[in-house]
Structure formats: C-alpha cells, structure tokens
C-alpha cells in the first residue's frame, strides 16, 4: 500500500526535556521581545519594532563565524512539533488579502492562518504546536498522489545556528518577520541545501521523492535563510531582506544572524510512487513559508537557553 490513510493521533508522552536555567548575567533588549545576553557582538535595536538603524548595523561583527576553529561542531537546537491544521489556496505573504489566488497550501501551527493574516491576528489565535507559545504560521504546498491530495500528518520546525555561525551570535527572529524558502516556480532541481525529499527523520535529502519504508514515511525538508538585513520584515520579492550564510558568515548587507530554521513535513506516503507532485506542479517546486508570531519573549528564551548554550532542548516525538 503506497498511501496510508492518516489515523487519529494516539496519545504519546512528550520527550523528556532538560530544565534550562535562565542566564543570570546582565542583558540588553533585542528584537522587541525581551533580553539578549551580551557578548555576541550584536547591539540592541534602536528603532521601534526591534529593528536596527544604519549605525547599529554598522556595529555588528559580520564575521561572527566559526572559520577560526573549523574543527568545532556545534549541536545546539530546539524543535517545535506542529500537527496539520488546515488546507487553503491562500498565502498571506505572497498574496496577502487575496483569498484563493494561491495554489493549495497545507498549514501548520497557527490555526487562523488565511490570506488576511497579520501578526496581530496570529497572536490572537491558537496553535497546533506542542509549544503553545509558538503562534507562528508555517506552510508548504499540498502534495498529490494519483491526483488526490494527501493530508500531511505533522511537521517539525528545527531551530539551530547555521554551521557557519557561532551559536552565541544568533539573534531571535524579529516580531512579524516573514520568510519564504525554496521556489514554487522551479523547473530545475533546487539546491539540496535549501529543499529536498527524505524518508522519516533521515537528514539526507534527494532531488526526487525516494521510495520509503512504511516505518519511515516520506518527508519534505526545507531550510530557510539565516541572515537578516536588520531593517525589513518583508520585501517586495519576499526574499531580498534575507540571505543564506556562507563559510564567511553573514553577508555585509544582511549582517544579523538569526536561527537557521529547517521545516520538515511528514506525509503518510511510502513505497514507490508513479504519480506524485506538489501543488505548483512536479516534484521540484518544494518551498515553505514562515510568519513569525511567537508570544513576545518566548522565542528569545529558547534561543538563549538552547542555541546560545549549544545544547539540545528536546527530541521530536513519534506520532
């Protein structure tokens, strides 16, 4: 059987998560969401909404990388598990205020997401995420097998420091940040560092959907850019306010390191597939969207307690 019918989620125990002591050192305001431990080279924002002025951006160390210690491998991260919420032909980032104009998307996390979503409406809603402080919205194109839409099971959103960035240099996403990763218009394979298919929680990606065992169902994995320009929560092309880091760190025009978000969607699909495609068409058009609406202060605490301390704050449960 190639496609399984999604069953009701059985109750499962949450993975044990370490209790994290809050830093007791002095701190500075950042991102409009609370406090950030100093020493990372990141100045506090000096404009409303947690944004940086040109003078503050000039003070950021754009070479806050691990290049001087190539043997160091950091492992700190935390994960947010969000089950499937709903499906709609909406996209509040690319087609804001235009319901039905987008191809079909599957939404996770915030249960209110539609074409008219704003940060305020998201903060007033509820979430399917296990971390109830995460009211952000995550979405990806719908998957079709033999012409029928497959309802996804769940998603995992991994937050970590990019391999190119020192963990204690990472700042939390600013309130209301919008990010798109991957391309719905791709006609050729995209970089596997950005988007790819896999089986279960195997991190190794492939360009086309692999034939998975029933115990390790099909997943779509999308990695978001991890460098922000410090000024804009969105841009006309929904891309130019963000950038991917390189071995040299964040580029000068995008000097603020933010968490490297990897979004993974799990589908009840296994075995060889002869007719599988995403809503924009084909299997090369993988992409995902993120609209930040964490409860103010909550994301900052996760970044400090997990990414800055370079510790793993939990493991995803098996649904």
- The pLDDT value recorded for residue 21 is 28
- The pLDDT value recorded for residue 201 is 85
Residues 6 or more apart whose CB falls under 8 angstroms from that of 211 comprise 270, 271, 272, 273
Helix (H), strand (E) at residue 301: helix 298-302
- The pLDDT value recorded for residue 202 is 86
Q: Mean pLDDT in each 10-residue stretch from start to end of the chain (319 residues)? A: 33 29 27 35 50 59 51 80 97 96 97 98 97 97 96 96 92 96 96 96 92 93 97 95 95 95 97 91 97 94 92 66
- The pLDDT value recorded for residue 273 is 79
- The pLDDT value recorded for residue 203 is 85
- The pLDDT value recorded for residue 150 is 97
What is the value of pTM for the model shown? 0.80
Residue-range domain boundaries for the chain: 74-226+256-308
- What is the DSSP annotation of 186-227? -SSPPPTTTEEEEETT----BSS---B-TTS-EEEEEE---E
- The pLDDT value recorded for residue 38 is 34
Reduce the DSSP state of residue 29 to 3 states and report it. Answer: strand
């Amino acid at each position: 059987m190639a496609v399984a019918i999604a069953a009701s989620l059985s109750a499962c125990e949450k993975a044990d998560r370490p209790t994290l002591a809050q830093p007791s050192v002095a701190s500075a305001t950042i991102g409009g969401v609370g406090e950030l431990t100093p020493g990372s080279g990141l100045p506090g924002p000096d404009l409303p909404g947690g944004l940086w002025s040109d003078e503050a951006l000039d003070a950021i160390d754009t070479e806050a990388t691990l290049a001087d210690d190539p043997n160091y491998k950091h492992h700190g991260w935390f994960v947010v598990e969000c089950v499937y919420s709903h499906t709609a032909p909406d996209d509040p980032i690319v087609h804001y205020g235009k319901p039905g104009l987008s191809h079909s998307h599957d939404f996770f996390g915030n249960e209110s997401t539609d074409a008219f979503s704003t940060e305020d409406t998201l903060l007033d809603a509820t979430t399917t995420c296990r971390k109830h402080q995460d009211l952000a919205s995550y979405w990806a194109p719908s998957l079709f097998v033999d012409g029928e839409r497959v309802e996804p099971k769940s998603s995992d959103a991994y937050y970590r420091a990019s391999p190119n960035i020192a963990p204690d240099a990472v700042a939390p996403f600013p309130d209301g940040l919008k990010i798109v990763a991957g391309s719905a218009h791709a006609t050729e394979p995209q970089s596997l560092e950005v988007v790819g298919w896999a089986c279960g929680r195997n991190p190794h990606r492939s360009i086309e959907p692999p034939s998975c065992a029933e115990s390790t169902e099909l997943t779509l994995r999308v990695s978001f850019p991890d460098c922000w320009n410090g000024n804009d929560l969105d841009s006309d092309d929904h891309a130019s306010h963000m950038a991917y880091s390189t071995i040299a760190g964040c580029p000068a025009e995008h000097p603020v390191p933010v968490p490297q978000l990897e979004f993974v969607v799990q589908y009840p699909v296994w075995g060889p597939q002869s007719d599988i495609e995403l809503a924009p068409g084909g299997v090369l058009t993988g992409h995902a969207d993120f609209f930040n609406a964490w409860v103010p202060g909550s994301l900052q605490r996760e970044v400090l307690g997990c990414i800055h301390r370079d510790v793993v704050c939990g493991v995803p449960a098996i649904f």
